[in-house]
Amino acid sequence: MWQQALCFPLSLILTVTVSVGWKMRVSPVVTVSRGEDAVLTCSLTTGKMGYSGKITVKWMARQTNTPPFFQCSVKNDSLEEPNPCAASGLKYSLAGDPRHGELSLLIRKVELSDNGTFFCRVEAENNVRWMANYLEEKTDLYVTAQPQIASLSVVNTPCSSAPWRLQCEAEGHPLPHIVWLSASGLLEDQDETWEYGPYQRISCIPYLEEEQVFTCRAENSWGHAERSFPEKTDHLMLILTICGVVVVMLSAGILVYCLKRNRGRWDSDSPADGGQELQPVYSDVSCSFSAQVDNGASTLQSEHIDTVYTYVKTPQ
């Protein structure tokens, strides 16, 4: 009996000693946008107590008693060995080296499904000194997402008293609010809305084919998104596109016409069988000039002869 009474204070002393020697710190909340990388900060301080055994890092999601989705072990006796806990290209890896007390979790390209609570745990090797002790802290990952219109279509499920309904499905985080717009303005008290999961909301309004264009607009604190049914046509862009196509076709036609016309001229100037070709004809042209000094004392005369080449067509 006295042995049990002695063992309990001894184990308590060991646990307190380890807790004093090892300290863990985490970020209470980490906020990141969907599609970006997130780092859940978790660091370990071992104090003055040296430890060269194996360190095991575990990360759990949602509940602390669930199996770890990420786990890595490394010997704390040498820093020359490569870090086995860091891996490029994987969804989960450590952002640092546990031998330096860096236990932060790197999540690449987070999705809305990653939103929630995570637990960082570190375990020492099971031996007499450490008694399989571990430390664990909780951190929350908050993934934000601008609204997106997942779908907008007409379905035959009744909405209110109408046989057809226009249904809009939007997603985002925080959960977006949906409003309906028409040419006359905001539609009030005509829609039915319900949540479909933690990040999706569905809304519908009565729809008749002869009615006008309706717009579904989803809003939250990070932005908004909207889509119309039937989809609006950008008339200006359509006109510019048509004009561009016409200009390109006209330019191509003019270019082809000019090429054909010039080619026809070249063909007409080239010799053909039984035709004529150009032959050079040589002739001399003389040119003379004279100059007289005002006092009549001297007279200068000169004659210059040039050869001129004249091309004439002669029969072959």
Answer yes or no: same fold for 20-144 and 145-229.
Answer: yes
Tens digit of pLDDT for each residue in 53-93? 788 999 999 998 999 999 998 887 766 677 778 877 789 99
CA atoms within 13 A on the CB side of 270: 7
Measured CA angle at 192 (ends 190, 197), to 5 deg: 155
- What does the domain layout of the chain look like in residue ranges? 20-144, 145-229
Q: Is the pLDDT of residue 197 over 60?
A: yes
Long-range contacts, 213-216 (Cβ 8 Å, 24+): 213/182, 213/183, 214/166, 214/180, 214/181, 214/182, 214/187, 215/180, 215/181, 215/182, 216/149, 216/152, 216/166, 216/168, 216/170, 216/178, 216/180
Architecture of domain 145-229: Sandwich (2.60)
The model carries a pTM of 0.63
| Window from 144-158, 193-207, 220-234 with minimum mean pLDDT | 220-234
Q: What angle do CA 172, 176, 178 make, to 5 degrees?
A: 130
pLDDT band at 305 (very low <50, low <70, confident <90, very high): very low
- pLDDT tens-digit series, residues 147-176: 999 999 998 876 666 678 899 999 999 999
The CA–CA distances, whole Å, from 154 to 94, 159, 273 equal 47, 11, 76
Give domain 20-144's CATH number out of 1.20.120.50, 1.20.1050.140, 2.60.40.10, 3.40.50.720: 2.60.40.10
